[in-house]
Amino acid sequence: MTATTDSDGGPLRPAATGTAADTAGRRPPVPGRPGAPGTPGLTETARWATTRSVEHLLGRQHSQGWWKGDLQTNVTMDAEDLLLRQFLGILDARTAEAAARFIRGEQRSDGAWATFHGGPGDLSTTVEAYVALRLAGDLPGDPHLAGASAWVRHHGGIAGTRVFTRIWLALFGWWPWDELPELPPELIFLPSWFPLNIYDFGCWARQTIVPLTVVSAMRPVRAAPFALDELHTDPANPRPPRPLAPATTWDGLFQRADRTLRRHRRLVPRRLRRAALAAAARWIVERQESDGCWGGIQPPAVYSLIALNLLGHDLDHPVLRSGIASLDRFAVWRPDGSRMVEACQSPVWDTALATVALADAGLPADHPALVRAAEWLLGEEVVRTGDWAVRRPGLAPGGWAFEFHNDTYPDIDDTAEVILALRRVSHPDPARVDAAVARAGRWTLGMQSAEGGWAAFDADNTSPFPDLLPFCDFGEVTDPPSADVTAHVVEMLAYEGRAHHPRARRGIDWLLERQESCGAWFGRWGTNYLYGTGAVVPALIAAGIPAAHPAVRRAVHWLVSVQNDDGGWGEDQRSYQEEGWAGRGASTASQTAWALLALLAAGERDGGAAERGVAYLAGTQRGDGSWDEPHYTGTGFPWDFSINYHLYRQVFPLTALGRYLHGEGAAAVAAPLRQGG
């Protein structure tokens, strides 16, 4: 089912019924029968749905104890993987055709590619997809490529794409390096207190920018296998001048500074440039993980491989060999022979969420599956100092990262969720659990930002300058505190008996101050206001804020007001750009669950909205205990980079159903035993 729009393109509520294809394999609730809202059978229906969901999730656990769902983004990951392999000279026909099969399958009917399911066409994504298909052997005259090139020309051509796309094109001479923003490698020498040093960037941007300074300095061009004239609006004038912002604005000032840097790049002393390139190379190599990747995410790995190759590392060098091998582990080969590349992998996050879901659904705390999960999570604890220590020197390490291998960038969100998961398990070595949680708790408290909230990876990563660089025209490049991460930390501290800790109280105040006028909270790492509100309300209640508090009541009122006619909730990615989309979109299992988590925490279990939400989840469950969810409900960068976490559709509905049946779970009961911990 998709959201309908009015004549101006504004959001309306999705229709209450779907097509036959929408309901295939599902059991919609029928009024007057068990499972419909307001009937005595709803609890029994929820219990049956919970049982099947538990069986499904248990069946997906790896023998080592972890869970991981596919992490689907958009076809730029697949396109850039092929471009990297072409640049390094290692692109093979099997990989190219498998990637092309996936990319073709994601094309819209108008010839473009979007960045999320049901979204509008995106120019940069479409250009990269087009080039990748050309690398795979598709021809400009093929109907799907002819449609794509026409769409590209109509929407501004290559000249209108973002900087990162034009960098990829510059690597093959399809765009001139002189027409790209300057990014000098001497940035590596700026001290951490200096504006625009590399630690002013969020960790994901930092890991990408350092290798890109090498690429920008060396300006490589490999022979292009074909021309791209058909992607220019005017091949005779492919690079129309870009307008300058007024010199009195920050944007205008940075644009002019970039022009100055480009004009004077040849004046940089050669000895200084060589030293900067060497320092950047050391920085990159020092941060390679044990599996060969960088930070457990694909984009920094891609640019790091290019940079090191340009600096003389051949393909047989151990760093490059292991790095290329790590990229193969991001590939998901599908039954139809297509190949999808994940931007990242989320086993720690998925395992923590699955553990919480199963425990809250009533699985015994000593169930072997939960014990295996806890054992695996304990083995993933990060006890090494990383880049976060630049802003928090002297803080002892402790916490968890998102991925299989990432000791440099543990994150606060995963750490809070892992603690909540571990406390729901009866592990045979409780002292070991207590020690890990104590280390992680101290680290989390120490990572609070000065304003009172918590960010994902760093403390006080709030400089306004990185976003102003002409280079940074895509996605978030800093890591300020967010409501969803702060809420997860507050919830964890409450369950650890630290709701009255001064840092927890500051976090609660920070959350209350940032409630939107409509009653919702902005969701930085999930879409969007449903995610933020679904995180904040349970955290406030766990921390002792009464359900009658005005902030909680405003949140409940907002959730009820945006419930869809089918009983579910949904929110489109467009809510990051247009206020009218807040809480609006086709119903999804994960977003319905987030709304339910807030309503249940606020004491609304027997209210009509919660009952309709539970009935929606039970009625849309598939026969194998799972849910469908093509919509993207995760967020990498608000609007710019959306994520479909394939396990969200399983773990969050199960958590909501479990709390509908059993309350808030074992952690809330155990919290008083840890008072003052």
Amino acid at 264: H
**SS3 label, residue 47:** helix
Place of tokens 């467009």: 574
Collapsing DSSP to helix, strand or coil, 332 comes out as: strand
Neighbours of 321 (CB within 10 A): 14
Q: How far is CA 18 from CA 23, 376, 470, 574, 644, in A?
A: 7, 41, 45, 22, 21
SS3 (DSSP) at 645:
strand
**Are 164 and 208 contacting, i.e. CB atoms less than 8 angstroms apart?**
no
Helix, strand, or coil here: 420?
helix
Q: What share of the chain is helix, strand, coil (3-state, %, to 5)?
A: 50, 5, 45
What is the DSSP-derived secondary structure letter of residue 340? E
| 643 beta partners | 634
- Locate 427 and state its tokens: 């592990």
CA 113 vs CA 88, 138, 629: distances in Å? 26, 16, 19
* Closest by CA position to 280, among listed 159, 351, 184, 379: 184
CA–CA separation, 518 and 516 (whole Å)? 5
Based on its alpha-carbon atoms, the radius of gyration of the chain, rounded to whole angstroms, reads 25
Q: Which two tokens stand for residue 4?
A: 């309908």
CA 136 to chain centre: 28
**CB neighbours of 585 closer than 8 A, spacing ≥ 6?**
3, 11, 14, 570, 571, 572, 575, 591, 631
**What token pair was written down for 452?**
């009172």
Is-contact 288 319, C-beta < 8 A?
yes
CB 633 within 8 A of CB 526: yes
Q: Is 472 left (phi over 0), alpha (psi -120 to 50) or beta?
A: beta
CA angle 662, 665, 667 (to 5 degrees): 160
Task: List C-alpha distances in Å: 270 to 258, 267, 273, 275, 311.
Answer: 20, 8, 5, 8, 15
The answer to whether 509 is a known catalytic residue is no
Question: Is the CB of residue 16 less than 8 Å from the CB of residue 588?
Answer: no
- CA dist., res. 421 & res. 401, Å (int): 14
Catalytic residue among 413, 414, 479, 572: 413
Cα–Cα distance measured from residue 170 to residue 215, given in angstroms and rounded to the nearest whole number: 10
Q: Are 580 and 520 in contact (CB under 8 A)?
A: no
Q: Which residue has the tokens 């999808």?
A: 340
Q: How many CB atoms lie within 10 A of CB 92?
A: 9
- How far apart are the C-alpha atoms of 116 and 249, rounded to whole Å? 33
Q: Which residues are catalytic?
A: 413
